Structure 1
Amino acid sequence: MTKSVPFTGDEKDSLYAALDRHRDAVLWKLEGLDDEQLRRPMTPSGTNLLGLVKHLGGAELGWFRETFGRETGPLPFDFDRDETSDMRVEPHESTADILEFYGRARAAADQVIDELGLDDLGTSYAGNAVSLRWVLIHMTTETARHAGHMDILRELVDGSTGDHNRG
């Protein structure tokens, strides 16, 4: 069932619902595809569906956990070695590994969302003071942007279209 943003909800609930709606669309774009289809490079830069999920997991941990001084747990990439390593699924990483990582990242981010108020401040990787409100808006935008990329990639893989499961 597709989640929707409440028409009259409070601000935090509405922002969270918008983020969660796009998170679910990201996962829906993977349904019914085999490992080769999920890993298939679809652009000259090598972008693929599973790599976008890995990237979004890292973004969730970075923005919600690191920004607010929380541990991220182990990360399946190394920015010091390669700044694009979060976009690439390595041969030893299974689809289940990436989905587990994204699920762990979502749960860890949700914990921060539950514990903090919208005006609580953290420090971004660039040193800027940012509120939880700003991070929620940023991550909703980031997730929606990549869900849109996934719409196109999925259509190229098997012709499927749509932004959410209508069933």
Structure 2
Amino acid sequence: MTNAPAGSTAEEKDILRASLDRHRDAVLWKLDGLDDEQLRRPMTPTGTTLLGLVKHLASVEYGWLVETFGGEVEPLWFDPYESEDMRIAPDETTDRIVAFYGRARAAADRMIADLPLDALGRPSWRDQSVSLHWTLVHVITETARHAGHMDILRELIDGATGAHRPAAG
């Protein structure tokens, strides 16, 4: 079950992008039907929340897929280097965080569309260049990892499970 273009003639970038989108969509699906308290509820000893993971993944997309390749990143109101991207402040609404994730995805998608897989960028926090190809694999891995965390958190909240939204039918 994949959302990647069918057949062996699909371009590699299209396959990578489809994989990223599948995991991104799972992240958002894990929020469906929950109220604000449930989305903010710390579910681990370290305080991990569903909404905190969405905020973190937005900063990951902006950092790795946009800033690394010279794209414009919106001003952040938190410090991701101090793990503030994993915490939800009382004044941060669900709508604000989900919209932030949407803007980060859109900015990342523009960079992915505009650059070849062998394009090089340099993250500000590393002293090493990376290719778009390497970065896409890294962000897919990061998103899938946290979508898995979200699956466990969601199951603990209301018992809902699954890697992907069930097909309508």
- TM class, shorter-chain normalised? over 0.9
Provide the rounded CA distance (Å) in 2 between the counterparts of 1:130 and 1:34.
39
SS of structure 1 residue aligned to 2:113: helix
- Check conservation: 1:50, 1:89, Cα contact below 8 A: yes
Deviations 1:81-140 (A, max 9, x none): xx1100001000000000010000000000000100000000122121100001110000
State how many pairs are aligned.
164
Q: What is the identity, as a one-letter code, of the residue corresponding to 1:126? A: R
**Bigger shift: residues 67-76 or 112-121:** 67-76
Q: Which residue of 2 aligns with 1:127?
A: 127
Give TM-score, length-normalised by structure 1. 0.94
Per the alignment, residue 56 of structure 2 pairs with 55
The 8 Å contact of residues 76 and 86 in structure 1, kept in 2 or not, is answered as no
CA distance in 2, matches of 1:14, 1:85: 32
Offset at 1:3? 6.0
**What are structure 1's unaligned runs of at least 5 residues?**
none
Distance in 2 between the 1:92 and 1:64 partners? 27
Structure 2 residue aligned with 1:164: 164
Task: For structure 2, list consecutive stretches of 5 or more residues without a partner in the other structure.
Answer: none
**Counterpart residue identity of residue 53, structure 2:** L
1:115 is aligned to 114
Change beyond 3 A, Cα 1:145–1:79: closer
2:121 is paired with a residue of what secondary structure?
Answer: strand
Residues 1:146 and 2:154 aligned together: no
Preserved contact between residue 54 and residue 101 of structure 1 (Cα < 8 Å): yes
Q: Decide whether the 8 Å contact of 2:51 with 2:94 is kept in 1.
A: yes
Identity %: 63
In the TM superposition, structure 1's runs of 4+ consecutive aligned residues that sit over 4 Å from their partners are none
TM-score, normalisation: structure 2: 0.93
DSSP-derived class of the 1:67 partner: helix
Amino acid at match of 1:110: D
> Counterpart of 1:98?
97
- Cα distance, 1:123–1:153 mapped onto 2, change above 3 Å: same
Cα distance in 1, alignment partners of residues 141 and 134 from structure 2: 11
Q: Is the 2:120–2:132 Cα contact (8 Å) retained in structure 1?
A: yes
Q: Within the alignment, does 1:5 sit opposite 2:19 as a pair?
A: no
